[in-house]
Structure 1
Amino acid sequence: MESLRNLLEEIAKKNEYGRPNIAINPVSTGGGNFSSELFTVIVSESDKEDLHLFAKIAIAGEMVRSQMPVDIFMMERLFYLDLLKKFQDIETAHNVPKEKRLPVPKYYGSHTKLYEESIVLENLAEKGFITYDRFKSIDWEYAAKAVESLAKFHALSMAYREKNRREFREFVEKTQFEKEMLINMMSHMFEQRKITTLAVTTEKHKSKLQKYLDTQINVKALLDLFVSTQRPVLNHGDYRTSNLMHRYNEDGTLEVMPVDFQTMIYMSPLYDLLYFIFLGTDEKFRRQHFQDLTDYYHQELSNALRSLKLNPDAIYPKTAFELELKEMLPYGLVIAINGLPIITVETEDAPTMQGDDNTYEQFGNTKTGSLYPERMNGVINDFFRWGIIE
């Protein structure tokens, strides 16, 4: 906490607060965050407008850190200090209107000392932003707006690559994760999660699902497919409702803003899209809108590329997108199996990375919540209905 206060004092000084009062208050995410302690901050001084900030302090213990494929907050610092500036330069160079630009919170500073890593952003809650209830399936309006923001992020990645390939390649090299470590972590969790999944699977699907998972699903092969795509982009990496903030503006329009870029990863744009869909929607939504939402993503990606003076038919034609979606759709099941227990966990049972003895294995053994069987069986029903599992 002392390091955070020192950082906040530096931020206050940069913003011309001479003798500031700094009030720090803890925030609970209700089980939506596992790697950080969160705080709201008010920097105040007489005759000056209050400065409202949001701070994160890393809490991962030594054992969890040794299993992590990237350094805590490294990606997020790279996003705000390097990548975002490149994106904004591209938007400015092409006269993209403000309302069409990638919405992100303002960055104020960060601290990199080991075991005391912290990052400070503007407090979006003061501007009326809230997070979506993770226990509820998203509706079409929210899904569409979230996909619009995702498409802008991916389009800017494509534009950066097209306009400055050498510089983009150098940036991507900075974001490289320990691939084998990630594969081992995900594969181990998947094996644990298969047991959890089959325990709630309806009898009519259980034997066929088990055979499919044992013979057709290989986490390494699926991850390799995402990485080897011909059209990789910088992905958010954890694009779910707990990492999105939204508000209704005075004119009634909805605005959705991505936050928490600490898991950026370079692979197929379908990783983010499938991750968002299978961790944020229920079976009813996907029956009604799966095709609509994937089509809408490509439409918005194409619009964003055009605004950056790029030809979407050359960069990512619809035929290529549809082919990749078909090839990579099985990964949606892996995402659901690995992620839904955490998404639906009851607040009091949510795991934490805090403590030197905690490991990633605890995430594989998370006690599932009451919503989990319904959401998991909804995904399983999809894969039978789509003919992926026979």
Structure 2
Amino acid sequence: MEATEKCCDTQFKVLSTGDYILPPPLQASIDKIVEKEGYISHKTINRSISTSGGNFLADLFEVDIKGKTADGDKETNIFIKNKMEDIAVTVLDVSECYNLENFFYGDLSKMYDDIQNKANIPIEERYNMVKSYDATNPNAIILENLSKKGFTTVHRMEVAPLKFAQLSAQQLARFHGLSWVLEKQNPDYFAKKIRTIKPTYKLNDDYQKFVDNMATYTDKCVDGEKRVKLKKFGSRMMEAMQRNYFENDDSRCCLCHGDYRANNILVKKDGEEIIEVIPVDYQLLYYGCPALDFIYFIFPCTDQEFRRQHLDDLKDLYYESLRKFLQYFNMDVESVYPRDEFEREYKKRLEYGLTIALLLTPVLFTNDDDVPDIAHDDLGSISVTPDLKMDERIRGLVDDFEKWHIL
């Protein structure tokens, strides 16, 4: 028995068991994977995944393929991020977002694997990437489903565990390092394919409405002179975004992740100990200032106490990880990205950390049942109901940025 469910404006057939029948383009991609993996006979189970506020531009699916090959029984576990239909977002070029992620998994990740293999980098010192399938199409990202291997994510409201933050900083350094290695080894490709990647954000009227809307939630977390300062900063936030995110003429640039936050970093534990992280979600790739990736990671997922205890150490760890990684390629980090330049760019663009935290925090602190439909709703009028824990997070941000003379 079948039913039809409208999921994010796309028609999916749903069996009485709750399994999804994938739309034909996705099913064709799965069929290609079945053939390439050598299945003689097989059965597939398809499930829809709730994003729980972690993804705003895609329908997510799990596909389990079980069957027999010439070598015996086999199981293939797949994760699909399928482009939503009729996305109303105007502050992003959504088609370009999917093109970028397809470029990363279909082309760049393979080059990065080859670069690391040729340098004989130990597994534990490499940049980690999820296995992708060649059946990936322009509207879908098809990857190995690492949840089957115990990977999960840190919840959006949680302060990043220290070990998670340390491993994430190391991975970010390697990601930036690979960009500079690629630039050295293949300058023509880099010039044509990497240096030309522009930010997909559009600082238009709708973006301004989103800024103003989120301010109605964050401004309430403080009062008195602090609220006055926060409102004053909000009035120049668009200008700060333009200056920090789009203007890099005087910066040492590389390929940046663009959305390096806790929700986009898979984590695996051994008991209670975090042992591995794998970055994902490359839809906001752009050529820009690497310090922004570090700043973007820190401020939405840490509180004031965490920053007081660990921020300086994480900056040191990022830079030393970059130094160690580049040594595998006989590259001197001080020649590639001098420490004083990293520090200069970090301080120069620090206000970006406050900007992105103020914009993301109200949504990140909304309970799963109340997460707005950002893909289809007007960003200027979306309504959120933030958890009370948001107030303390915002107050800590305001205190820190006062201390750093940003407010």
TM-score past 0.5 threshold: yes
Percent same amino acid among aligned pairs?
29
The alignment covers a number of residue pairs equal to: 380
For the pair 1:69 / 2:87, whether they are aligned, the reply is no
Q: Equivalents in 2 of 1:178, 1:246: separation in Å?
A: 27
Match of 1:24 in 2: 46
Q: Equivalents in 2 of 1:321, 1:110: separation in Å?
A: 39
Q: Are the counterparts in 1 of residues 33 and 135 from structure 2 also a CA contact under 8 Å?
A: no
- In terms of mean alpha carbon deviation, does 260-269 or 366-375 score higher? 366-375
Distance 1:60 1:269, change over 3 A: farther
Distance 1:262 1:242, change over 3 A: same
Amino acid at match of 2:192: E
For the pair 1:103 / 2:128, whether they are aligned, the reply is yes
Aligned mate of 2:163, from 141, 159, 164: 141
Normalising to structure 1: TM-score of the pair? 0.90
- In terms of mean alpha carbon deviation, does 141-150 or 183-192 score higher? 183-192
For the pair 1:344 / 2:365, whether they are aligned, the reply is yes
Q: Are the counterparts in 2 of residues 42 and 52 from structure 1 also a CA contact under 8 Å?
A: yes
Q: Are the counterparts in 2 of residues 77 and 110 from structure 1 also a CA contact under 8 Å?
A: no
Amino acid at match of 1:338: L
* Structure 1: runs of 5+ lacking an equivalent: none
For the pair 1:361 / 2:380, whether they are aligned, the reply is yes
Q: Equivalents in 2 of 1:96, 1:112: separation in Å?
A: 31
- In terms of mean alpha carbon deviation, does 274-283 or 87-96 score higher? 87-96
Aligned mate of 2:305, from 274, 284, 287: 284
Spell out, residue by residue over 1:193-212, the C-alpha distance to the aligned partner (whole angstroms, 9 max, x if none): 23332122233411233234
Match of 1:275 in 2: 296
Distance 1:269 1:195, change over 3 A: same
**Shift of the alpha carbon at 1:354?**
5.1
**Shift of the alpha carbon at 1:69?**
2.5
Q: Equivalents in 2 of 1:68, 1:253: separation in Å?
A: 34
**Shift of the alpha carbon at 1:15?**
0.6
Q: Are the counterparts in 1 of residues 199 and 246 from structure 2 also a CA contact under 8 Å?
A: no
Match of 1:372 in 2: 390
For the pair 1:211 / 2:235, whether they are aligned, the reply is no
Amino acid at match of 1:54: F
Q: Equivalents in 1 of 2:112, 2:206: separation in Å?
A: 32
Q: Equivalents in 1 of 2:60, 2:289: separation in Å?
A: 31
Q: Are the counterparts in 1 of residues 164 and 274 from structure 2 also a CA contact under 8 Å?
A: no
**Shift of the alpha carbon at 1:75?**
1.0
Q: Equivalents in 2 of 1:174, 1:320: separation in Å?
A: 23
Aligned mate of 1:50, from 64, 67, 75: 75
- In terms of mean alpha carbon deviation, does 121-130 or 247-256 score higher? 247-256
Amino acid at match of 2:127: L
For the pair 1:153 / 2:175, whether they are aligned, the reply is yes
**Shift of the alpha carbon at 1:162?**
2.3
- In terms of mean alpha carbon deviation, does 249-258 or 153-162 score higher? 249-258
Helix, strand or coil at the partner of 2:88 = helix
Looking at secondary structure, tell me which structure has more strand per residue.
2
- In terms of mean alpha carbon deviation, does 104-113 or 252-261 score higher? 104-113
Spell out, residue by residue over 1:126-184, the C-alpha distance to the aligned partner (whole angstroms, 9 max, x if none): 111111122210122111011111111010011111222221011126633456x2465
Amino acid at match of 1:279: P
Q: Equivalents in 2 of 1:322, 1:81: separation in Å?
A: 34
Q: Are the counterparts in 2 of residues 351 and 366 from structure 1 also a CA contact under 8 Å?
A: yes
Normalising to structure 2: TM-score of the pair? 0.86
Q: Are the counterparts in 2 of residues 240 and 275 from structure 1 also a CA contact under 8 Å?
A: yes
Helix, strand or coil at the partner of 2:40 = coil
**Shift of the alpha carbon at 1:16?**
0.8
Distance 1:317 1:354, change over 3 A: closer
Looking at secondary structure, tell me which structure has more helix per residue.
1
Helix, strand or coil at the partner of 1:20 = strand
RMSD of equivalent CA atoms: 2.3
Q: Equivalents in 2 of 1:335, 1:185: separation in Å?
A: 16
Q: Equivalents in 2 of 1:190, 1:228: separation in Å?
A: 26
**Shift of the alpha carbon at 1:103?**
0.8
Helix, strand or coil at the partner of 2:61 = strand
Q: Equivalents in 1 of 2:51, 2:101: separation in Å?
A: 19
Spell out, residue by residue over 1:233-291, the C-alpha distance to the aligned partner (whole angstroms, 9 max, x if none): 11111111111111135996611110111211211111111111011111110111111
Distance 1:215 1:351, change over 3 A: closer
Match of 1:168 in 2: 190
Match of 1:308 in 2: 329
Match of 1:230 in 2: 251
Helix, strand or coil at the partner of 1:50 = strand
Amino acid at match of 1:168: F
* Structure 2: runs of 5+ lacking an equivalent: 1-21
Match of 1:87 in 2: 112
